[in-house]
Amino acid sequence: MLVVKKFGGTSVGSLERIEAVAKRIQKDVQGGEKVVVVVSAMSGETNRLIGYAEHFSKLPSPKEMDMLLSSGEQVTSSLLSIALNALGVQATAMTGREAGILTDNSHTKARIESINNQPMLRALHEGKVVVVAGFQGINGSGDITTLGRGGSDLSAVAVAGAISADLCEIYTDVDGVYTTDPRITDKAKKLEKISYDEMLELASMGAKVLQSRSVEMAKKMKVKLVTRSSFNDNEGTLITDEEDIMEKPIVSGIAADKNQARVTLRGVADKPGIAAEIFNALAKAHINVDMIVQNMGKDGRANLGFTVPRTEVEQAKRALTEFHGDVENIDYDDTIVKISIVGVGMKSHSGVASKMFNTLAQSNINILMIATSEIKVSVIIEEKYTELAVRSLHSAYELDA
Ligand code: ASP
Ligand code: MG
């Protein structure tokens, strides 16, 4: 079995941790696995390097930043390879360049364009463990590029796709994907399996185990992913194609996203093109608008409500100043939360949303906004009800451990 194993920053955060990872790989190799390892920088290292650069400049050149930041992953890949060889496991370390990872030209947020798998396959054929520095590649001119924060996950999935690995294991400091945030309820359970689409919905809303781009790529390249802990031997969570999941739960998980704020525009001039102008202005300011509701006001004026990330409220205020003439008043509320239920089984079941609304009503929680998609129902409620809402929904959909 050919397996790509990716170890994140905390998993290789000290020399002791690197040693533990080396021993774990040794066991897997003795058990017959062929292994390509992808590593992150030691935890905190990338931020430390960014701090160094900022000592000299607020706007360091992206090309130099890539050269600087890529060094963090080179340290861990070479050290892990040295540790493996010291244990008698034949290993070789590769930078992104040596591993044949070619990207586009966008420094600090490059996209992988292709991977020449020959160097990795050759080393595997010689019986070696290949240890690849994550997060990096080279562009067409041979300059080092990096893939954006959290990009080692993406390196691992891309490498797994390029060498047709049977599995891509992502090792972190959590056991896998849970039905909801275990800090909210101790009844949260670890999921055995989840589909790519469910994972994408949960990841974009706070269940941050895996970088979203890497899940998208895994789906496209049909790479089976497992997230598990490097601190114990527990089985993790398999993230795979919907077809591989026989029993599709109606609701697989519940996410609570507090990075939300509600903007309400009252008394908006009811004329063609006004919504377009407002959302164009927000788009120009690069603000991510999520839920949108419009309703009839009175005297030919309408009310318009929408949500934006809480971190973007100030930008939204600035972008909306030009509309003061067309709008009676604008208010901002950042004491809200978005609660979402996610599950592929929803596609073939009715009554899923109404159960959510009934459950919240029984707890006396008022719903401020609603949005639905094929596999998700989201509501906006007051932030102070987060725990109550998540706990009552978790038991209503029979997810309690
Ligand atoms: N070291 C990089 C970062 O901190 C990449 C990664 O860890 O995935 O963003
Ligand atoms: Mg990460």
The residue extents of the domains of the chain are: 2-173, 261-333
CA distance linking residue 84 with residue 361, whole number of Å: 57
CA distance linking residue 63 with residue 42, whole number of Å: 22
- 107 Cα to the center of ligand 1, angstroms: 15
Extract the tokens encoding 219: 């789906």
Taking the CA of residue 150 as reference, the ligand 1 atom at the shortest distance is 8
Tell me the best of 11, 12, 40 to mutate to test the pocket of ligand 1, counting ligand atoms within 8 Å of each CB and taking the most.
40
Contacts of 131 (CB under 8 A, 6+ apart): 36, 37, 39, 77, 78, 80, 81, 84, 91, 92, 93, 94
Alpha helices in 269-332 (DSSP H): 274-284, 313-320
CA distance linking residue 69 with residue 64, whole number of Å: 9
Q: Ligand 1 atom 6: the closest Cα is on which residue?
A: 150
pTM for this predicted structure: 0.89
CB atoms within 10 A of CB 85: 16
- The architecture in CATH of the region 261-333 reads 2-Layer Sandwich (3.30)
- 70 Cα to the center of ligand 1, angstroms: 9
Looking at residue 202, its pLDDT comes to: 86
Taking the CA of residue 40 as reference, the ligand 1 atom at the shortest distance is 7
Would you state the torsion angle of the CA atoms of residues 94, 100, 101, 103, taken in this order, to the nearest 10 degrees?
Answer: 140
Ligand nearest to the CA of 150: 1
Looking at residue 155, its pLDDT comes to: 98
Looking at residue 205, its pLDDT comes to: 55
- Residue 88 gets the label, from left (phi > 0), alpha (psi -120 to 50) or beta, of left
Looking at residue 298, its pLDDT comes to: 77
Extract the tokens encoding 326: 């067309």
Ligand nearest to the CA of 210: 2
Does 3.40.1160.10 match the CATH number of domain 2-173?
Answer: yes
2-173 and 261-333: same fold? no
Contacts of 85 (CB under 8 A, 6+ apart): 91
Taking the CA of residue 135 as reference, the ligand 1 atom at the shortest distance is 5
- 144 Cα to the center of ligand 2, angstroms: 20
Q: Ligand 1 atom 5: the closest Cα is on which residue?
A: 150
pLDDT averaged per 10 residues, the chain (length 401)? 97 97 98 98 97 96 98 98 98 98 97 98 98 98 96 97 98 92 92 94 69 93 95 95 85 93 92 91 93 85 93 93 88 96 92 96 96 94 97 96 86
What separation, in Å, do the N-terminal and C-terminal C-alpha atoms of the chain show?
33
Residues 37/131, Cβ–Cβ less than 8 Å:
yes
Check residue 190 and report its DSSP letter.
Answer: B
Tell me the best of 149, 172, 208, 217 to mutate to test the pocket of ligand 1, counting ligand atoms within 8 Å of each CB and taking the most.
149
- 308 Cα to the center of ligand 1, angstroms: 26
- 73 Cα to the center of ligand 1, angstroms: 8
Looking at residue 208, its pLDDT comes to: 65
- Pocket residues: Cβ below 6 A from ligand 1: 9, 40-41, 46, 72, 134-135, 149-153
Looking at residue 34, its pLDDT comes to: 98
Tell me the best of 50, 135, 159 to mutate to test the pocket of ligand 1, counting ligand atoms within 8 Å of each CB and taking the most.
135
Looking at residue 62, its pLDDT comes to: 97
Residues β-bridged to residue 46: none
Residues 82/56, Cβ–Cβ less than 8 Å:
no
Beta strands in 196-274 (DSSP E): 225-229, 237-240, 253-257, 261-269
Task: Name the 3-class secondary structure at 321.
Answer: helix
Check residue 323 and report its DSSP letter.
Answer: G
Looking at residue 206, its pLDDT comes to: 52
Ligand nearest to the CA of 170: 2
Extract the tokens encoding 41: 């920088």
Contacts of 158 (CB under 8 A, 6+ apart): 101, 112, 115, 217, 221
CA distance linking residue 84 with residue 180, whole number of Å: 37
